[in-house]
Chain A
Amino acid sequence: MTVQELLLMRHEWALIAGVLILLVLELNFSEEQKSKSIISAVVIFTIITLLGFLPAESGSTFGGMYVTDPVRLLMKNILNLGVLIIFLQAGSWLQTKNNYNRVTEFYLLMLSSVIGANFMISAGHFLMFYLGLELLTIPITAAASYDQYKSKSAEAGIKLILSSAFSSAILLFGLSMLYGSTGEMYFSEVRFSNDLIQVLGFVFFFSGLGFKISIVPFHLWTADVYEGSPTNVTSYLSVVSKGAAIFVLVLLLINLFEPLRLVWQQVIYGTAIFTMTIGNLFAIRQQNLKRFLAFSSIAQAGFILLGVIGGSALGMATVIYFVLVYVFSNLAAFGVVIAIEQYAGKVNMADYNGLYKTNPRLSLVMMLALFSLAGIPPLAGFFGKFFLFTAVAASGFYILLFIAVLNAVISLYYYLLVVKAMFISKSESPVPYFQSDYPTRIALSACVIGIIVIGFYSPVFEYIKQLCLISF
């Protein structure tokens, strides 16, 4: 073991160092100085994010347990960007009276969860994959029950941990079948031979991972947990936790489960149709914006599966690109919801009536975010969906493509419902004009820049495609 081998794990080292530094800093701040710990956490995480963009070597270490290559680094960097935006948005919520004695803990939990996501993406062994998955989820269950004075928040925490324990059990049962039939746990040495037991093991494995991505029929926890959790945790769950699970799914399907391709294409074919349709149909009926965004994120997960089904390097590139766009669009939408919730304590769609009159800039950000999620040109979301549809067409799944386009139209309807509320509907008492704090404004501006620039600046997609083609 050389230093160079250890340096392959740079992302993880930086995050672990961040956790330890924050733990020590926390001891030195009194309860009145919580803004200091917020600033230090944001500064530390900015450094971690920037460190991640430095050029790095690829390779594997710890006897193949840990694998890294440019695509995996890119995935980690995308997740880091999302977490940075979430950290910026969380400041105003953490400074409220109810959180007076729990500020740094939020950052510690988030950072540990990101460590889990990174280890999961870099896993070269089923054990590392499973540990990463648990490390991704367990800290977030504590964060979901952060608002203890609300019973809904406690309920969200309990629901999340019970259902994730159940899904982990199913996943482990699947893994034990795969291990029992192949005798190997290292990804590089597992050889699948299309035995029935391996098919069943894969289905269990997929359902465990599908739970994290909230694919239908493993989505039942999503709406309740998203609604009950503090909105900052909800945005983490819907962007970072989901994004990490999608990245791992596409990596494993293309590399590890390649011999089972015919099986997983059928599995994804069915679940993609159900996920898009059910997510969309339920989203139409929601009045609470957090539940609305929960079902919207289920539908988006269905769209992402379209890129996975091709199982090619191109499909992988479209998935990474879509998640990158999704990070910015969804975090912009959540950022507006958080800002308004912090100021006025309102999260229902009716509360957004007439928002444009009083808060034009927030309404514009929300509109851009929703248009990007719906896929309206020239915003980045359009290209994300467009590339996904191209990838499906390239693999010849035309019926699936037809259903996906239908669903894209349905989704346009409910995203426009919110836009209509903000711009057209009149309200007796709209949310009055207010200014959010600087970090929130920086985060929202970053999201808007991301939504617009990624859409117009085509080298982004070319770069991702190049990386994927080289690596796979």
Chain B
Amino acid sequence: MGTSAIIFYTIAAIMIVFSLLAVTARKILRAAVYLLFALGGTAAIYFMMNYFFLAAVQLIVYAGGIVVLIIFSILLTSHIEEKMQKPDTWKIILTSILGFGGTALCLFVITNHLFVAHPATGAEATMATIGEKLLGYGEGGYVLPFEVISILLLAAMIGAIVVAKRNKPKGNG
């Protein structure tokens, strides 16, 4: 086993453990912190694959932005000390059968598939190529999805405003 394989399996183990902890933790703040490590592990995998831009985005947006946002909203809305209720035993049994069954099925299918390396993979993703792809409108260009995402953001902002707007009519207090 080479060094990179050892590093990969270490990161993968960290990610799996923290992902499991994040969904099983009884205290919500702990779950958020565990999530931070799982997301950080993803960034590490990107670094290993030489996707530096993606790794930086992952660190800044997910580990930096989203987790902080989640923690803020937890602090603002709920009681940190509160423990989540334990689910019923039969629920635990049913969901674990489904969960482990699904995982086993996916693992079986994925490990039995012979993946063919695509010729495009392995090319170094420099800032210049990313920029060209992002603004390209020909084959392999991504400017249309980029613009659709901006419409999506506009719509989501309007939606957020609608949800947050004061809802009492005038005159009723």
Interface of A toward B, CB cutoff 8 Å:
1, 16, 19, 62-66, 97-98, 100-102, 105, 108-109, 112-113, 115-116, 119, 125, 127-128, 131-132, 134-135, 138-139, 141-143, 145-146, 148-149, 157, 177, 180-181, 183, 195-197, 200
Q: Is the CB of A146 within 8 A of B144?
A: no
Q: B162 touches which one: A134, A143, A200 (CB < 8 A)?
A: A143
Q: Scan B142-173; emit 1 where CB is below 8 A from any A CB, else 0.
A: 11110011011011101111110111111000
A97 to chain B: which residues have CB within 8 Å?
Answer: 169
A98 CA / B105 CA spacing, docked (Å): 50
In the bound complex, do residue A139 and residue B159 qualify as a contact, i.e. CB atoms below 8 Å apart? yes
CB A358 to nearest CB in B, in angstroms, measures: 30
Q: Are B163 and A1 in contact (CB under 8 A)?
A: no
B120, B156, B168 interface centre (most CB from chain A within 10 Å): B156
What is the bound-complex CA distance between A100 and B44, given in angstroms?
A: 50
Q: Is B5 an interface residue (CB 8 A)?
A: no
Partner of A100, one of B118, B162, B163, B170: B170
CA–CA, A417 to B100, complex, Å?
A: 45
Q: What A residues does B120 contact at CB under 8 A? A: 183
Q: List 7 A-B contacts (CB under 8 A).
A: A19-B151, A19-B154, A63-B138, A65-B145, A109-B162, A139-B159, A196-B113
Chain A residue nearest to B141 in the complex (CB) = A63
Residue from the list A64, A66, A145, A197 in contact with B113, Cβ < 8 A:
A197
Bound CA span A113–B112, Å: 40
* Known contacts A100-B169, A138-B152: A65-B144 contact under CB 8 Å: yes
Considering the complex, give the chain A residue whose CB is closest to the CB of B139. A63
CA distance A323 to B163 in the complex (A): 31
* Contact indicator B112/A196 (Cβ below 8 Å): yes
Q: Please give 12 more A-B residue pairs, beta carbons under 8 A apart, in addition to A19-B154, A142-B163, A149-B168.
A: A63-B141, A108-B158, A109-B158, A109-B159, A109-B162, A128-B144, A131-B152, A135-B148, A141-B159, A146-B162, A183-B118, A200-B106
B116 CB-CB contact with A under 8 Å: yes
Are B115 and A180 touching (Cβ within 8 A)? yes
Cα A131 to Cα B148 in complex, Å, equals 7
Chain A: minimal CB distance from B141 (Å) = 6
Of all A-B residue pairs in the complex, the 9 with the closest CB atoms, nearest first, are: A142-B159, A112-B155, A63-B139, A183-B118, A148-B167, A197-B113, A62-B144, A139-B155, A63-B138
Give the residue name and chain of the B residue nearest to A196 (CB): B109
Q: A63-B137, A196-B112, A200-B109 are in contact. Are A113 and B143 (CB under 8 A)?
A: no
Question: For the complex, what is the distance from the CA of A132 to the CA of B151, rounded to whole Å?
Answer: 10
Q: A128-B148, A200-B105 are in contact. Are A113 and B155 (CB under 8 A)?
A: yes
Q: How far is the CA of A330 from the CA of B78 in the complex (A)?
A: 41
- B1 interface residue (CB < 8 Å to A): no
Contact indicator A112/B158 (Cβ below 8 Å) = yes
Identify the closest chain B residue to A97 (Cβ): B169
CA distance A54 to B24 in the complex (A): 56
Contact with A101, one of B106, B138, B143, B166 (Cβ below 8 angstroms): B166
Q: Judging by beta carbons under 8 Å apart, are B156 and A138 in contact?
A: yes
Q: Is the CB of A131 within 8 A of B145?
A: yes
Contact A142 B160 (CB under 8 A): yes
- B148 and A132 within 8 A (CB): yes
Name which residue of chain B comes closest to A201, CB basis: B109
> What is B's interface to A at a CB cutoff of 8 Å?
105-106, 109-110, 112-113, 115-116, 118, 120, 136-145, 148-149, 151-152, 154-156, 158-163, 165-170
Give the most central of B118, B145, B168: most A CB within 10 Å. Answer: B145
Measured CB to CB, the closest approach of chain B to A104, in angstroms, equals 9
Q: Quick one: closest A residue to B117, CB to CB?
A: A183
- The docked-state distance in angstroms from the alpha carbon of A139 to that of B160 is 9
| Complex alpha-carbon distance, A150 and B118, angstroms | 53
Q: Are B151 and A115 in contact (CB under 8 A)?
A: yes
A357 to B156, CA, bound (A): 46
- Closest residue to A188 on the B side, CB-wise? B139
Question: In the bound complex, what is the Cα–Cα distance between A66 and B144 (angstroms)?
Answer: 8
Contact A98 B169 (CB under 8 A): yes
Given contacts A63-B138, A148-B167, A197-B113, contact A142 B162 (CB under 8 A): yes
A177 to B107 CA separation, bound complex (whole angstroms)? 12
What is the minimal beta-carbon distance from B94 to any residue of chain A, in angstroms? 14
Chain B residues whose CB sits within 8 angstroms of the CB of A108 once the complex forms: 155, 158
- Given A135-B155, A197-B109, decide whether A64 and B139 contact each other with a Cβ distance below 8 A: yes
- In the complex, A100→B168 CA distance in Å? 9
Q: How far is the CB of A39 from chain B (nearest CB, A)?
A: 20
Q: Which residues of A contact B167 (CB under 8 A)?
A: 98, 148-149
Within 8 Å by CB of B137, from A62, A131, A148, A196, lies: A62
Contact B151 A112 (CB under 8 A): yes
Bound state CA distance, A146 and B115, in angstroms? 47
Give every chain A residue within 8 A of B141 (Cβ-Cβ). Answer: 62-63
- Cα-based distance from A372 to B134 in the complex (angstroms): 48
- What residues of A have a CB within 8 angstroms of the CB of B169 in the complex? 97-98, 100
> Is B144 in contact with A142, judged by CB distance below 8 angstroms?
no
Complex contact A101–B109 (CB within 8 A): no
Q: CB distance B148 to A139 under 8 Å?
A: no
Across the interface, A135 reaches (CB within 8 A) one of B142, B152, B165, B166, namely: B152
Chain B residues with Cβ below 8 Å from A134 are: 152
